[in-house]
Amino acid sequence: MQENRVSRWYFGGVSSSAAACVTHPLDLIKVHLQTQQEVRMRMIGMTLNVVRREGFLALYSGLTASLCRQMTYSLSRFAIYETVRDKMKRKNKGPMPFHQKVLLGAFGGFTGGFIGTPTDLVNVRMQNDVKMAAEFRRNYAHVFDGLLRVCKEEGLRKLFSGASMASSRGALVSVGQLACYDQSKELVLATGYLTDNILTHFLASVFAGGSATILCQPLDVVKTRLMNSEVQYGSVSHCLTETAKLGPNAFYKVDVTFTQMLYTALSNYVL
């Protein structure tokens, strides 16, 4: 008899935080690759450079901000998506159509992305500090120190720098991670070859991770550059224009895209 698995929306926030502890080094390297003005290093080279200069623990710089981000951004989008999805499932006595999952995922992700923008900004800055020269580092002690200092030094509005990109990215990521994950799992189970087991979750996670990466990678690059900058970019369009000057590969560099996909797929799998 097949086990009846019951999920709770708050599992998403807690498990996302657990996933962040595993995938944080990948996220840090991704930020370093995205904020390069010129392509000087690839993924492995960047990882070795960070470890050689700052030690292994430097790969976990900004972990407090990452955890806080998951408990705002991820918790919000899971709360919206899973609560509505389960209600619709009971009402319709069956799974939601894919287009409804896409719309719901986009709404949940957009809302969660906006809520999580301040902690995401501090997370990006703490991660990027590792590669900066000592005199240019912000040296936030932890996420709350970062939030307070940004408010004090740059103003409350700065906490939501890149909010439009973070919200749009959140919408696209949630479509890939949540809607595509649910749909791909349903399709795999419908074949009759697999049951609701680890292999099914793994296959669905890989598909969802790839979908989310393809959808959100350009926005993720722009979001990261906006959040890391203090005065370099005057607007989203300015950042987009300056990034585009680096060439089309600036948005879909193979190493950055692979790192993002691996990070997203691992996060999904832990979930």
The model's pLDDT over 79-131, given as tens digits with 9 standing for 90+, comes to 999 899 988 888 888 889 999 999 999 999 999 999 999 999 999 899 888 88
- 151, burial (CB in 10 Å: exposed 0-12, middle 13-18, buried 19+): middle
Per-domain residue ranges for the chain?
9-270
The model's pLDDT over 129-139, given as tens digits with 9 standing for 90+, comes to 888 888 888 89
The model's pLDDT over 192-243, given as tens digits with 9 standing for 90+, comes to 888 888 888 888 888 887 787 778 777 777 777 777 776 667 677 777 777 7
Under 8 Å between Cβ of 261 and 23 = no
Q: What is the mean pLDDT of residues 19-39?
A: 79
Higher pLDDT, 265 or 150: 150
Q: In whole angstroms, what is the distance from residue 143 CA to residue 68 CA?
A: 8
- The span from the first CA to the last CA of the chain, in angstroms, equals 24
- pLDDT value, residue 2: 45
| Sign of the dihedral through C-alpha 177, 270, 18, 89 | positive
Would you say residue 44 has pLDDT above 90?
Answer: no
Quickly name the fold that domain 9-270 has: Mitochondrial carrier fold (1.50.40)
Phi-psi region of 93 (alpha: psi -120 to 50; beta: other; left: phi over 0): left
Would you say residue 249 has pLDDT above 70?
Answer: no
Q: In whole angstroms, what is the distance from residue 32 CA to residue 122 CA?
A: 14
When mean pLDDT is compared across 30-39, 77-86, 113-122, 151-160, the lowest value belongs to 30-39
Under 8 Å between Cβ of 259 and 46 = no
- pLDDT value, residue 43: 77
C-alpha angle with apex 224: 43 to 38, nearest 5 degrees? 50
Instruction: Please give the mean pLDDT across all residues of the chain.
Output: 82
Nearest CA to 109 among 250, 240, 12? 12
Would you say residue 38 has pLDDT above 80?
Answer: no
Q: In whole angstroms, what is the distance from residue 216 CA to residue 30 CA?
A: 13
Nearest CA to 10 among 69, 83, 67? 83
Higher pLDDT, 5 or 41: 41
**Percent of the chain's residues with pLDDT above 90:** 25
